[in-house]
Structure 1
Amino acid sequence: MQTKQTVNEGLKRSYAVTISAGDITARVDAELKKIAPQVRMPGFRPGKVPVNLLKKMHGESVHAQVVNDAIRDSLDKLIRDEQLRPAMQPQVELGAGYEQGKDAELTISLEVLPVIEAPSTDGLKIERLVVPVTDAQIDEALAGIAGNNKSYKDAPKTKKAAEGDQLIIDFVGKLDGEPFEGGAAEDTALVLGSNMFIPGFEDQLVGVKTGQEKTITVTFPADYQADHLAGKEATFDVTVKAVKTETETVIDEDFAKNLGLDSLDKLKEIMKAQLEQQTAGLTRTQMKRQLLDQLAAGHSFEVPPSMVEAEFQQIWTQLQQEAAQDADPAAALKQIEDEKDEYRTIAERRVRLGLLLSEIGQANGVEVTSQEMGMLVQQAAAQYRPEDRQRFIEYVQSEPMVAAQLRAPLYEDKVVDFLFDKADITEREVTVEELQAAIEADETAEAAPAAKKAPAKKKAPAKKAETAADDAEAKPAKKPASGKAEKAPAKKAEASADKPAAKKAPAKKAAAKK
């Protein structure tokens, strides 16, 4: 292998690499000898097929695999010999005129990570905004639980059902007078006004009594998930087996025990811990923003354009998706287009902060343990179909850059925790509203071009102040309509000298239809 550097400009590097024809031929011959014992051909004993026939049968496919392996090995050797730290996956091009029997001429282009002197961790000052949990908040939370655990008692048989009452019903659905699959049920509990059933169903049951039979007519929505019912008119023969009225829910010892707890005090203790956890996430977000602002203000260095572009594309995709859901999509799209340069600046900030955190972590021995990494891989694998999970795990194990992307969020959090331990932290008690207002003020102050011209629907653009971790800790993410958990973008803080991807990850399992 012969190597010549052709470009060395800033963080850009390019090399001309030659793999000799003799080396490729030797590799092909060695591979053919390796597979010879497994080849079966009529008229020849196992392992005795002549080499010239092996080449005729398998030479082309073996040659292609050998060239691919030789390119990978050459890239690895180049990275080791030149002590390169690729920012992103290197680009490798095989000369257009290559054919068997000739030298393979490669062009390898990449961007390297900048050399960053380990930033000082001294002098960091952070204010922790603490929200004490009050008895009133605990009572409010308990009232919410009680509201979701309503109980009902039988009403007099003469009572007419009203909104808020619970019915116990049997029903049979019919299309053109014939029962349809999945349209019947017995002893179904239905609270009138809950909108659990298709539009019109509950409305026609207002006023029914225990023991009454009634046939109602409804039309399934045009977008109903069952195609054979979508947009169709149907009748339901309903038998009202009971009308029940809501009973007052008393939050006492019995209420706690019905939830499986020992006492009301234990329930209150759990609710207090949950409320503290919620505000702790907001507090950490606000502290992290202060920390990142101080790091960003104290460091300026060139960052790899490819990393900035990749980060920008993630931001841009998210913004376009949010704009498409806006009340006025055209106005929202125009707004983000007008601010495109500002979002590129935000992407550059994120990349720079990610590199800084990575450098701080490496300089101070911050690590993600093998046990922690194993848990990350298992959690990521759970997003795939059961039959694909092992293949995904093997894919991560064979592709260091993919593993680095999984590791980066946890690594970043551990570096942030390390810096919190080093910082001078003062505390101030605030209300949850004041804490939320402080976070919103940070968003506006750091980078909120959208505040200049709010779209018709007031929806905040993608968070821009943090590095890759963003706002994930602040509050639990809402589940999307599909029922599939949203996935955070891959992080890049730990980009390293890794191999280019050679395998394809298994397809993630599709979200279940409702």
Structure 2
Amino acid sequence: MQVTETLNDGLKRGYAITVTADELDAKVNEKLAEAQPEIEMKGFRKGKVPMALLRKQFGQRLLGESMQETIDGAMNEHFEKTGDRPAAQPEVKMTNDDWKEGDDIQVEMTYEALPDVPEVDFTQISVEKLVAKADEDSVDEALKSLAETAQNFEDKPEGEAAENGDQVVIDFVGKLDGEAFEGGSAEDYPLTLGSNSFIPGFEEQLVGVKAGEEKAVEVKFPEEYGAENLAGKDAIFDVTVKAVKKPVAAEVDDEMAKKFGAEDLEALKGQIRERLEAEYAGASRAVMKRNMLDKLDEMVSFELPPSLVDAEANQIAHQLWHEENPDVKGHDHPEITPTDEHRKLAERRVRLGLLLADIGQKAEIQVTDAEMTQAIMAQARQYPGQERQFFDFVRQNQQMQQQMRAPIFEDKVIDHIAEQADVTEKEVSKEDLQKAVEALDEE
């Protein structure tokens, strides 16, 4: 086997690989020899079929396997010898298209090598960690929000009209062509206007009604409505308004606290304080992480694989285009060309991604099975009733696993750096912390 360098330009590499016909033939014979003891053929005992006959019977099939294995072996040997790590799957193609059995194999391999990443002295990194405490005003504000979610409804003064957010208690009968249809009637139904719990157009027509009023509500069922006999049909609902009620926030007391699973109001305040400070801690970590990445980006400089930068720039441009054009769901749109700003951001992401991967590898940082399981379960909770299906989907999808593993690995590398960096705590108000978080989106 012969390997000859044909390209060495920056991180771009090219090699011509020659696998001789004798090497390939030896590989085929090796495979036949391995299989011979288990092969039975008419007229011969098991394991006694002559090699010449085996070659005639299986040679062509094994030839393809041998070619692939020999080329793969040559590539692996090359990477072990040179220490190169390809940034992506190498491009490999045969150059002698007129190859026939008995000829040498000529292969061209090209790839971009990952760069050598410089060492970083983490002790030279200084960052602030913002610390915000949950004050009484913040706790009281959260309690007020909870009280609104636990709201009750009480009758509005006689003669007052219903508004969005009010609750109307109604009897109704739905009719198609003057005939009541099954499942279209109810009595004493409490409907909150603006909740969009009824078909489009129904609730809007009840804004302004008063207790004791009767109203014919005209609607059209959606074309995709679940019941085929109603889909796309025009209907009239005869509605009797029995009461109009306004929302009233729950009293902030022990009884409200018990509705949220706390023993009393003080216990609920304690839970709120813990939740708020956990949110503050998460926001603080995001700010510290960005600052640390900024410092790392300033400290290192090395050549980047063009293909990785191009792919990242295209992805950034594509994502931002869809954010600016939310109505376009698919990919049937004009070609999107990355700008210089997109490429600059792509270079930062690729550089930091390679740096963090190198730091994590040298520190032997691993994402454990327990950490992955915890992350999968946390995300599965976003799909109530389908947790098991989501869990199984992730377990069977390597790409999805990698997407979930990457941020966990990155956070562990950041923690590893923070242990050696100069991290000083600075107490701030929640408003100042919020401003620091908002500043992240502006950069």
Fold similarity call, TM over 0.5: yes
Return the offset for 1:209.
4.3
Moved more, 280-289 or 165-174: 165-174
Q: What is aligned with 2:80?
A: 80
Q: Which has the larger radius of gyration?
A: 2
* Counterpart-to-counterpart distance in 1, 2:18 and 2:376: 37
Please tell me whether the aligned partners of residues 32 and 55 of structure 1 are also in contact (alpha carbons under 8 angstroms). Answer: no
Please tell me whether the aligned partners of residues 148 and 248 of structure 2 are also in contact (alpha carbons under 8 angstroms). Answer: no
Return the offset for 1:150.
1.8
Moved more, 61-70 or 421-430: 61-70
After superposition, where does 1:171-186 map in structure 2 within 5 Å? 171=172, 173-177=174-178
Return the offset for 1:276.
1.6
* Counterpart-to-counterpart distance in 1, 2:47 and 2:61: 19
Q: 1:57 to 1:440 in 2, by over 3 A?
A: farther
* Counterpart-to-counterpart distance in 2, 1:294 and 1:225: 55
Taking structure 2 as the reference length, what is the TM-score of the superposition?
0.77
Return the offset for 1:367.
3.5
Taking structure 1 as the reference length, what is the TM-score of the superposition?
0.68
Counterpart residue identity of residue 435, structure 2: A
Q: 1:207 to 1:67 in 2, by over 3 A?
A: same
Q: What is aligned with 1:252?
A: 253
Q: What is aligned with 1:261?
A: 262
User: C-alpha deviations, 1:300-333, integer Å up to 9, x for none?
Assistant: 1111112212221221111111122399xxxxx9
Please tell me whether the aligned partners of residues 165 and 191 of structure 1 are also in contact (alpha carbons under 8 angstroms). Answer: yes
Moved more, 159-168 or 278-287: 159-168
Q: 1:392 to 1:373 in 2, by over 3 A?
A: closer
Return the offset for 1:340.
0.7
* Counterpart-to-counterpart distance in 2, 1:190 and 1:50: 86
Q: What is aligned with 1:152?
A: 153
Q: 1:376 to 1:86 in 2, by over 3 A?
A: farther
* Counterpart-to-counterpart distance in 2, 1:405 and 1:361: 17
Return the offset for 1:250.
0.6
After superposition, where does 1:386-401 map in structure 2 within 5 Å? 393=395, 396=398
2:291 matches 1:290? yes
Please tell me whether the aligned partners of residues 32 and 54 of structure 1 are also in contact (alpha carbons under 8 angstroms). Answer: no
Residue 200 of structure 1 aligns to a residue whose secondary structure is coil
Residue 122 of structure 1 aligns to a residue whose secondary structure is helix
Q: What is aligned with 1:5?
A: 5
Counterpart residue identity of residue 207, structure 1: V
Return the offset for 1:97.
0.8
Percent identity between the two aligned chains: 41
Q: What is aligned with 1:142?
A: 143
* Counterpart-to-counterpart distance in 2, 1:35 and 1:219: 75
Please tell me whether the aligned partners of residues 214 and 239 of structure 2 are also in contact (alpha carbons under 8 angstroms). Answer: yes
Counterpart residue identity of residue 297, structure 2: A
* Counterpart-to-counterpart distance in 1, 2:434 and 2:293: 18
User: C-alpha deviations, 1:231-269, integer Å up to 9, x for none?
Assistant: 643223446676655455111111111222222222112
Q: 1:179 to 1:148 in 2, by over 3 A?
A: same
* Counterpart-to-counterpart distance in 2, 1:246 and 1:170: 20
Q: What is aligned with 1:434?
A: 432
Question: Gapped runs of 5+ residues in structure 2?
Answer: 329-333
Return the offset for 1:38.
9.7
Q: 1:424 to 1:225 in 2, by over 3 A?
A: farther
2:371 matches 1:372? yes
Residue 189 of structure 1 aligns to a residue whose secondary structure is strand
User: C-alpha deviations, 1:438-474, integer Å up to 9, x for none?
Assistant: 3444555xxx5xxxxxxxxxxxxxxxxxxxxxxxxxx
Please tell me whether the aligned partners of residues 151 and 247 of structure 2 are also in contact (alpha carbons under 8 angstroms). Answer: yes
Residue 294 of structure 2 aligns to a residue whose secondary structure is helix
User: C-alpha deviations, 1:342-373, integer Å up to 9, x for none?
Assistant: 22112111211222223333444433335435
Return the offset for 1:403.
6.7
Return the offset for 1:436.
3.2
- Equivalent pairs, count: 430
2:340 matches 1:341? yes
Q: 1:28 to 1:144 in 2, by over 3 A?
A: farther
Please tell me whether the aligned partners of residues 32 and 51 of structure 2 are also in contact (alpha carbons under 8 angstroms). Answer: no
Q: What is aligned with 2:311?
A: 310
Please tell me whether the aligned partners of residues 11 and 114 of structure 1 are also in contact (alpha carbons under 8 angstroms). Answer: yes
Moved more, 371-380 or 254-263: 371-380
Residue 194 of structure 1 aligns to a residue whose secondary structure is coil
Counterpart residue identity of residue 140, structure 1: E
* Counterpart-to-counterpart distance in 2, 1:146 and 1:48: 86
Q: What is aligned with 1:480?
A: none
Return the offset for 1:152.
3.3
User: C-alpha deviations, 1:264-304, integer Å up to 9, x for none?
Assistant: 22211221122222222221222122212222222211111
Return the offset for 1:186.
7.0
Q: What is aligned with 1:470?
A: none
User: C-alpha deviations, 1:398-444, integer Å up to 9, x for none?
Assistant: x9xx8766543222211211222222233333333323333444555
* Counterpart-to-counterpart distance in 1, 2:389 and 2:290: 41
Alignment RMSD, CA only?
A: 4.6
Counterpart residue identity of residue 16, structure 1: A
After superposition, where does 1:264-279 map in structure 2 within 5 Å? 264-279=265-280
After superposition, where does 1:41-52 map in structure 2 within 5 Å? none
Q: 1:49 to 1:122 in 2, by over 3 A?
A: same
Counterpart residue identity of residue 191, structure 1: T
* Counterpart-to-counterpart distance in 1, 2:420 and 2:408: 19
* Counterpart-to-counterpart distance in 1, 2:312 and 2:299: 22
* Counterpart-to-counterpart distance in 1, 2:234 and 2:258: 46
Return the offset for 1:191.
0.9
* Counterpart-to-counterpart distance in 2, 1:242 and 1:27: 88
* Counterpart-to-counterpart distance in 2, 1:247 and 1:275: 25
* Counterpart-to-counterpart distance in 2, 1:58 and 1:34: 10
Q: What is aligned with 2:360?
A: 361
* Counterpart-to-counterpart distance in 2, 1:27 and 1:376: 46
* Counterpart-to-counterpart distance in 1, 2:414 and 2:277: 21
- Among candidates 408, 411, 426, match of residue 410 of structure 1: 408
